[in-house]
Amino acid sequence: MKRILLASSEAVPFAKTGGLADVIGSLPYAFDKEHYDVRVIMPKYGSIPKEYTDQMDFITHINVSLGWRNKYCGIFKLDYNGVIFYFIDDEFYFGGQNIYSYIHHDIEKFAFFSKAVLSVLPHLDFRPDLIHCNDWQTGLIPVYLNVQFQHDQFYRGIKTIMTIHNLKYQGIWGLSESQDATGLPEYVFTPDKLEYKNDANLLKGGIVYADHVTTVSETYKDEIQTAYYGEGLDGLLRARSNSLSGIINGIDYKLYDPANDDLLFVKYNIDNFSTKKKENKLALQKLLNLPVSETTFMVGLVSRLTDQKGLDLIAYIMNRFLDHDIQLVILGTGDPKYENMFKNYANNNPDKVSANITFSNELAHKIYAASDAFLMPSLFEPCGLSQLISMRYGTLPIVRETGGLKDTVTPYNKYLGEGTGFSFSNYNADELWDCIWYAKTVYEDKEEWNNLVKQAMTKDFSWEKSAKLYADLYSNLLNN
C-alpha cells in the first residue's frame, strides 16, 4: 500500500477560488483503494461551511516555529465520502473569510502551512511515502523537508512532487522579508535556490527541491520551458526537464453528467441530445430574455474575465457577432474593463448578448448544456476544465491551440469527419473569428454537426485516466 498526502491551499467542497480546488476535491477518489491510500491536507479556513467543521474530529495541537515565531497549530480530521482530509488550524492565519489576501500576508501564512504539514506528520495515524504539493502555496514543503527535517529519521525517504497548476502565480516577495517569514537559513536564498531577481520565489523553491515536477498538460509542460510561457523560470524548468511530466486534469463525471444533472432544464444523453439539448437552449433564451430561436447559433463563455482568457481578442470582434445570427452568453467576473464591456454590449444589444457578471454554478451548468459552441481563445491555458465540461455536454469548444486546450480538443477535419471541436493557432482576432465562422457554417449542416457532438460526448476525460498516470509516477518515484 502506497501512502500519498496531497497538500493544497484549497479543495472542493471546503474552499474554492479556482480549478485547483476541483482537482484536489476529485483526484483522491479516482485511485485504486487497494494499492493507494491518498489523503489531503489543507488549511482550516474560517470560511469553511459549518456543516463540515461540525463533523471534524480534533486530533491534537502542537507548536510550529517560523524563525522567531512560535505558533499554535491545531490538527483536525474529517472522513469525507471515504477520503481522509486533515486540516491545519491557526486563527491568526486562517480565521478570516478570504482564502488569499495581500502577498506579504500570504507568504507568511503559507510558509506556516508548509512547515505545519511536515510538523504534524508524527501526530497523525498516517506517515506518507510521498507528499504531492500543489502550486506556490505549498512550494516550501520540499524546501523545509530537505533543509530542516532531514536530520530526523522519521522524515527520511519521504518523496515530494511539485505540481504547477498555473506558472503565472509563484509567491514572490522580498528576500529579507521572506527569510524572516519562513525562518529558513540564508543559504537557501541564493540564485540556484529561492532567489529570483533579488526577491524570494516560493514556487521556485518547490521546483528546485522536489523529487519530481509535474504540470497539468503535456503541451503546457513543453510551453513553460520556453521564454514566452516560462514566466522567468524556463531555464530552471529546462534544467529539470528529465524530472518534469505533463498529466492532464480530469473532471468529475458524476458531477458533470447531462443525463443526471438536476441543474438543467431538461436532462439528456448521447442518444437523445439532438432534441433534448435544443429544449435547454430554448429555455435558457427565455430565462435570459434573448429571442427564442432554435436555429440561432448560441455561443457560451463561462470564465474569469481576465486577459489570460483571450478576452482582448473577443473585444476586437464583438461588432462582428452583432452583424450575424449569433447569440453570445457570458458568465463570469474579473477585470472591470471586461465586465463593463460585456455589460455595455448586452445593454445595447439585448437580442444578441447576455452578460451575467456574477458567479452562478447553476447558470454555468445551464450554459454548458444549452449552448451550441463554447468559447476559450486563451492566451495560455495550463489545462482548462471548461472545454472538458462543454464536450461532456455536447457543446463544441472553439479554442486556441495552447496548453491543455491543444491536448484535449481535436480540431474538426471535414474530409475525415473527425474532431471534437474547432481550434486556431495564432493569438490573432481574425483567426479567432474565422474559426467561429467556420464552426457556424458546420452548425448549419445538422447531420455533420450532430456527428461532431457525438464524438465530443464519447471522449473520456474522467479522473480515472489521469489518476492512473499519477499512480504510475508515484510508483516509479517510490521504487527508485
Q: Where are the domains of the chain?
A: 2-250+464-479, 273-460
Q: What is the pLDDT of residue 18?
A: 83
Query: Where do the DSSP E strands lie in 109-225?
Result: 130-134, 159-164, 172-174, 195-196, 199-201, 212-215
Q: What is the pLDDT of residue 272?
A: 97
Amino acid at 447: E
Q: Which residues contact 50 (CB under 8 A, 6 or more apart)?
A: none
Which sign does the torsion angle of CA 388, 390, 396, 398 carry? negative
* 273-460: CATH architecture: 3-Layer(aba) Sandwich (3.40)
Between CA 167 and CA 174, with CA 170 as vertex, the angle to 5 degrees is 155
pLDDT in tens, the chain (480 residues): 999 999 999 999 999 988 899 999 999 999 999 999 999 999 999 999 999 999 999 999 999 999 899 999 999 999 999 999 999 999 999 998 899 999 999 999 999 999 999 999 999 999 999 999 999 999 999 999 999 999 999 999 999 999 999 999 999 999 999 999 999 999 999 999 999 999 999 999 999 999 999 999 999 999 999 999 999 999 999 999 999 999 999 998 999 999 999 999 999 999 999 999 999 999 999 999 999 999 999 999 999 999 999 999 999 999 999 999 999 999 999 999 999 999 999 999 999 999 999 989 999 999 999 999 999 999 999 999 999 999 999 999 999 999 999 999 999 999 999 999 999 999 999 999 999 999 999 999 999 999 999 999 999 999 999 999 999 999 999 987
Are the beta carbons of 95 and 86 closer than 8 angstroms?
A: no
Q: Among residues 328, 320, 337, which one has the least CA distance to residue 356?
A: 328
Instruction: Give the distance between the most distant pair of CA atoms in the chain.
Output: 70
Q: What is the pLDDT of residue 220?
A: 98
Q: Among residues 315, 327, 310, which one has the least CA distance to residue 424?
A: 310
Q: Are strands 212-215 and 244-246 parallel, antiparallel or unpaired?
A: parallel
Q: 3-class DSSP state for residue 51?
A: helix
Q: What span, in angstroms and rounded, lies between the C-alpha atoms of 205 and 201?
A: 7
CA 85 distance to own-chain centroid = 19
DSSP state at residue 188: G
Q: What is the pLDDT of residue 19?
A: 86
Q: Which residues contact 36 (CB under 8 A, 6 or more apart)?
A: 1, 2, 4, 471, 474
Residues in the chain: 480
Q: Among residues 179, 166, 245, which one has the least CA distance to residue 210?
A: 245
Q: What is the pLDDT of residue 248?
A: 96
Q: Among residues 178, 41, 57, 189, which one has the least CA distance to residue 118?
A: 41
* 2-250+464-479: CATH architecture: 3-Layer(aba) Sandwich (3.40)
pTM of the model: 0.94
Q: What is the pLDDT of residue 156?
A: 95
Neighbours of 436 (CB within 10 A): 25
Q: What span, in angstroms and rounded, lies between the C-alpha atoms of 132 and 11?
A: 14
Q: What span, in angstroms and rounded, lies between the C-alpha atoms of 442 and 438?
A: 6
Q: Among residues 392, 402, 390, 404, which one has the least CA distance to residue 439?
A: 390
Q: What span, in angstroms and rounded, lies between the C-alpha atoms of 12 and 18?
A: 10
